[in-house]
Amino acid sequence: MKSSVSRLSLWLLLTPFLLWIVLLVLLPHLQMLRVSFQVRESWDTIAWGVEQYQNFFTESYYWRTFVRTGVMSLFTTFLTLLIAFPIAWYIARLARGRSKGILFLACLIPFWASELVRTYGWMILLRESGLFSSWLQALGWADGPVEMLYNDVAVIVGLVYNGLLFMVVPLVTTLDGMDENLVEAGYDLGGGHGTVLREIVVPWAMPGIVSGCIVVFMLTLGSYLTPILMGGKDSAWFTEQIFTQFITRFNWEQGAALGVLLLVLSSVIVWLGLKISGQSLRKVMG
Amino acid sequence: MIRSVPRSRLFDGLYLAYLVAFFVYLALPLLVTAVFAFNDAPFPSLPWKGFSLDWFFADGSEGRTGLFHDDGLLTALWVSGKIAFWVTLVSVALGCVNAVLFERVQFRGKEFLYLFMLLPLVIPGVILGVSILVFYSGMANDVSAAWGIELDLFRPGMTLVVMGQVAFIATLSTLVIAARLRKFDPQLEEAALNLGATPLVAWFTVTLPWLLPSIFGAAAMAFLMSFENFNTTVMLTGSDTPLTVALFNRLREGSTPVLNAVALMLMVGSALLALLVMGRSSR
């Protein structure tokens, strides 16, 4: 009797979970995979084939954007880590009492605004008629309006800005739990700043580093607003192409294939990151 | 580099300068956006033409339409609110059930299913949106072609947007609520059971009150994430555009201080919600 009751409650708890995962995540992605292998021969006949994937490799525009998006996302992630680490270190180890909490909250403030608002703010600052341009002219450092928007640097500035919170929070969390005696011992044993950082601090912070990097990389790779609004004519982003195929051209088959490729890229890089750092998804995310 | 290790003055000075520069970098875009909502000029740029509340309250009679008279934006705001309401409701309910499932029940294959639970976090939002579009909208097309039945529910629109957002927001609310449940002492529940409460009564009088702060936290987070989401939403939205998509469309046409006014309202709204939740949880 008891076991049948617990069986029943297990199924009651399991059903919503399964409905969610199967109906909203698994089936849609399997269908996307299936559609990506469909070749439309005429308006109502469909064959199977790899035409969409061939298009991807033969049209240089596709795979160039793909590689560019991947490389720029990796670079952005790395840059975000470099910028965020000293901040996280200060908040976790050097700040005391109230200032610690206030600084931590200050890191969260930009994320009370949506990505669109943040990007808009950067546009107001960077564009030709923007604030930086006006200030440069007022200071006499520039003769005419300076266009700082619509290039790759602007895109990276915006992307780093979007990712910072997701890097700072896991770093602060792991660094907070570190025993300072370890660092002292490192110095006592004759280690310099570099050695202590490499041999003690970074290994300790690894779960935080990996989890921050995964989230920032995913966000950057999948971002759409920042590259579109801040990038120039040559700074295409891969999500933009997926969007174009689906919404503008109604070419779902091609769009699905590009979607699958983006998903494969992100999964492979996340998996590699976990393998190289010796972490597991459960440990860094859950 | 820690407090007990002596540092040079120069190092301290540089570190401080870096911190200041960092927080200026964080604050500047938002500050600028907020300030230009009050500029008495048709474009959000210098020079400063004086203070004005036109971009909030002007009724369109003098060529300026403020946010509170802009029907397009107000409708979009309402659509976003409805979407966020349903997303919050479903994600938090799912989060509670999932938290109990993964923290309190032992069953075979739990580790495996836990990985599936985390999966939406490592799928780009655009792909989540696209896959749901392909599956449900494609299904609606097929059903319509085969049997002539119109499944308008599964055409791009509010239902699909809610589904797409729940797909990943439910993971986040599960993590928030599960983290709190992990700290719960099961003996409290056992005590209630020993004192004669049925499992359901024990759950509602002992466990649920313990979880309440995390439920509020998860709800606020779900609401904000839904309200601000763009990547998943843009793929699934129909004719009733939510606020972020409407703002994006406006922004492509050109920027006016009305956008700054909306942005400022959004910031204030999120800040109030965040303060409310923090105030609750610290009590």
Domain boundary among B13, B43, B69: B69
Kindly provide the ipTM of the predicted complex, given to two decimals.
0.83
From A93-102, A253-262, B17-26, B127-136, the region with the lowest mean pLDDT: A93-102
Q: How far is B61 from chain A (nearest CA, A)?
A: 27
Task: Copy the structure tokens of residue B134.
Answer: 């392909």
Q: Which residues of chain A lie closer than 8 angstroms to B33, CB-CB?
A: 113, 117, 120-121, 124
Cross-chain residue pair B251–A29, CB shorter than 8 Å = no
pLDDT for position B82: 92
Residue B145, pLDDT above cutoff 90: no
Residue B275, pLDDT above cutoff 90: no
Domain boundary among B69, B84, B117: B69
Question: Mean pLDDT throughout B262-276?
Answer: 84
Cross-chain residue pair B5–A183, CB shorter than 8 Å = yes
Q: Does A21 touch chain B (CB under 8 A)?
A: yes
Best mutation site among B36, B91, B122, B136 for testing chain A: the one with the most A CBs within 10 Å?
B122
Strand, coil or helix: B46: coil
Q: Which residues of chain B lie closer than 8 angstroms to A129, CB-CB?
A: 43, 45-46
Q: How far is A236 from chain B (nearest CA, A)?
A: 16
Q: Does A142 touch chain B (CB under 8 A)?
A: no
* C-beta separation of A274 from A284 below 8 A: yes
B239 and B154 inside one domain = yes
Torsion angle, alpha carbons of B175, B180, B181, B183, to 10: 130
Q: Which residues of chain A lie closer than 8 angstroms to B117, CB-CB?
A: 17, 21
pLDDT interval class at B5 (50, 70, 90): low
B226 and B238 inside one domain = yes
Q: How many domains, chain B?
A: 2
Which domain range does residue B172 map to? 72-282
Q: How far is A141 from chain B (nearest CA, A)?
A: 17
Per-residue pLDDT tens over the stretch B195-211: 888 888 888 888 888 88
B104 and B49 inside one domain = no
Question: Mean pLDDT throughout B212-236?
Answer: 88
User: pLDDT higher for A121 or A184?
Assistant: A121
B235 and B99 inside one domain = yes
Mean pLDDT of chain A, nearest integer: 83
Residue B126, pLDDT above cutoff 50: yes
The residue among A69, A85, A245, A263 whose CA lies nearest residue A175 is A85
Per-residue pLDDT tens over the stretch A249-262: 888 888 889 999 99
Question: Mean pLDDT throughout B3-23?
Answer: 81
Domain boundary among B69, B91, B116: B69
Q: Does A196 touch chain B (CB under 8 A)?
A: yes
Task: Copy the structure tokens of residue A139.
Answer: 């200071």
From A66-80, A89-103, B44-58, B143-157, the region with the lowest mean pLDDT: B44-58
Q: How far is A187 from chain B (nearest CA, A)?
A: 8
Q: Which residues of chain B lie closer than 8 angstroms to A262, CB-CB?
A: 124, 126-127
Cross-chain residue pair A222–B127, CB shorter than 8 Å = yes
Residue A40 CA to residue B209 CA, distance in Å, equals 56
B183 and B49 inside one domain = no
B91 and B43 inside one domain = no
Best mutation site among B16, B19, B26 for testing chain A: the one with the most A CBs within 10 Å?
B26
Residue A227 CA to residue A215 CA, distance in Å, equals 18
The residue among A255, A275, A263 whose CA lies nearest residue A62 is A255
Question: Which fold does the domain A59-285 belong to in CATH?
Answer: MetI-like fold (1.10.3720)
pLDDT for position B88: 94
C-alpha distance from residue A39 to each of A45, A50, B139 (Å):
9, 8, 18
Distance of CA B208 to the CA centre of its chain: 23
B146 and B211 inside one domain = yes
B6 and B127 inside one domain = no
Of the partner residues B4, B125, B133, the one whose CB lies closest to the CB of residue A246: B133
B14 and B126 inside one domain = no
Q: How far is B92 from chain A (nearest CA, A)?
A: 12
Calculate helix-pair angle for A60-89, B9-35, nearest 10 degrees.
120
Cross-chain residue pair B270–A112, CB shorter than 8 Å = yes
B78 and B61 inside one domain = no
Dump the DSSP string for B193-232. HHTT--HHHHIIIIIHHHHHHHHHHHHHHHHHHHHH--HH
pLDDT for position A169: 86
Per-residue pLDDT tens over the stretch B245-263: 888 888 888 777 788 888 8
Strand, coil or helix: B59: strand
Task: Copy the structure tokens of residue A184.
Answer: 């002292």
